[in-house]
């Protein structure tokens, strides 16, 4: 083997050995960083966006912050970091891929907090323990692209979940109608409706101000709302998104004076969030309707 090759191997070996040996780094303020993992060696520059996994605990081991995984801390690196406190000094000394542990006193942590004039004596020397990992470092264009992809991914997941729930809802509604021997009209959206008493004239058009009496129930018959109980009809402009989608579509099948029932799948109602305590997530809704006027 040539001498230059031997020297090269020695240098590489020393570099690798050094990388494994360097487990700690002491900053200007005496903060000691203990490394779990070293990153790619590129410093964070002004104008870059930093995504951090960050956890910290008080002196008794109580978790005070947990921003990891899909919910990281996102910071824009700029000149203000030099005045924002010791945590920013720590982050400024990290590189993409670094993962570290460090401890600081409560006094040091809070000395740049404008909400506190002084740190209480009882807390000054209490140690806070931090685990910090630089998940990613991006410029603004890269970050905007990342956000767009994350939004698209979230939307696709929501759409997939909605499609799956719509299939489940359709099966449940159809079984309910079958068991009750109810003949309902199915629409392309998944809404089912029955006109039990015909009215007169044309159906209510989009954009019309409609006046409706209604009683809303869950599929098990639990009543959650009724305009009849209040003795006051409900008014809204049809097709303008002022009500749930099942109403915006369903009321359009009624003419003046008509009575009937809407069977609304959760995607056309309040979806996976529900509506307060009365309407749980993914609830199928039943509304007995009377279209009084428009």
263 a catalytic residue: no
Q: Are residues 125 and 227 in the same domain?
A: no
Range of the domain at 85: 3-144
Q: Are residues 137 and 10 in the same domain?
A: yes
Domains contained in the chain, number: 2
Is there a domain that residue 157 lies in?
no
For CA atoms 213, 217, 221, 226, the dihedral sign is: negative
Q: Are residues 123 and 208 in the same domain?
A: no
Encoded tokens for 261: 């029932």
214 a catalytic residue: yes
Instruction: Quick: pLDDT tens for 98-120.
Output: 999 999 998 888 876 655 556 67
Q: Are residues 121 and 190 in the same domain?
A: no
Is there a domain that residue 150 lies in?
no
pTM: 0.55
Q: Are residues 68 and 189 in the same domain?
A: no
pLDDT bracket for residue 182 (50, 70, 90)? very high
Here the CATH number for the domain that contains residue 255 is: 3.10.50.40
Is there a domain that residue 71 lies in?
yes
What's 44's DSSP letter? Answer: P
Is there a domain that residue 128 lies in?
yes
Is there a domain that residue 22 lies in?
yes
Encoded tokens for 257: 């004076």
Catalytic: which of 244, 279, 284, 286? Answer: 244
270 a catalytic residue: yes
Q: How far apart are CA 12 and CA 50, in angstroms?
A: 30
Catalytic: which of 176, 224, 234, 236? Answer: 224
Average pLDDT over residues 84-102: 89
Average pLDDT over residues 28-40: 87
Q: Report whether pLDDT(202) > 70.
A: yes
Catalytic: which of 130, 254, 287, 294? Answer: 287
Sequence-separated (6 or more) residues with CB below 8 Å from residue 72: 51, 52, 53, 54, 135
Average pLDDT over residues 41-66: 90
Residue 15: the pLDDT is 39
Taking the CA atoms of residue 32, residue 80, residue 84 and residue 95 in that order, the dihedral angle to the nearest 10 degrees is -30
Q: How far is CA 36 from CA 89, 133, 138, in A?
A: 19, 9, 22
Q: Is 95 helix (H, G, I), strand (E, B) or coil?
A: strand
Sequence-separated (6 or more) residues with CB below 8 Å from residue 97: 37, 38, 39, 40, 134
98 a catalytic residue: no
Q: Are residues 183 and 102 in the same domain?
A: no
Q: How far apart are CA 83 and CA 104, in angstroms?
A: 17
Q: Are residues 129 and 222 in the same domain?
A: no
36 a catalytic residue: no
Q: Are residues 86 and 122 in the same domain?
A: yes
């Amino acid at each position: 083997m040539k001498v230059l090759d031997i020297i090269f191997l020695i240098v590489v070996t020393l570099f690798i050995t050094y990388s494994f040996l360097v487990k700690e780094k002491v900053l200007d303020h005496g903060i000691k960083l203990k490394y779990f993992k070293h990153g790619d060696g590129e410093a964070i520059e002004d104008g870059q966006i930093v995504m951090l996994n960050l956890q910290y605990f008080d002196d008794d081991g109580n978790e005070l912050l947990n921003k990891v995984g899909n919910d990281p801390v996102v910071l824009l690196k700029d000149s203000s970091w030099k005045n924002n406190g010791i945590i920013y000094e720590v982050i400024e000394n990290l590189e993409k891929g670094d993962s570290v542990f460090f401890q600081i006193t409560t006094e040091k942590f809070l000395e740049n907090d404008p909400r506190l004039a002084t740190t209480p004596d009882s807390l000054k020397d209490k140690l806070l323990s931090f685990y910090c990992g630089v998940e990613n470092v991006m410029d603004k264009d890269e970050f905007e692209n990342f956000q767009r992809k994350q939004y698209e991914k979230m939307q696709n997941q929501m759409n997939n979940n909605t499609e799956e729930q719509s299939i489940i809802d359709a099966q449940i509604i159809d079984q309910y109608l079958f068991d009750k021997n109810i003949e309902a009209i199915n629409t392309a959206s998944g809404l089912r409706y029955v006109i039990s008493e015909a009215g007169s004239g044309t159906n209510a058009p989009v954009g019309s101000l409609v006046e409706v009496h209604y009683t809303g129930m869950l599929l098990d018959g639990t009543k959650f709302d009724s305009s009849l109980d209040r003795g006051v009809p409900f008014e809204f402009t049809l097709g303008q998104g002022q009500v749930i989608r099942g109403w915006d579509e369903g009321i359009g099948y009624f003419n003046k004076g008509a009575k009937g029932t809407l069977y609304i799948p959760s995607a056309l109602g309040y979806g996976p969030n529900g509506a307060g305590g009365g309407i749980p997530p993914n609830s199928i809704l039943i509304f007995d309707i009377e279209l009084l006027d428009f």
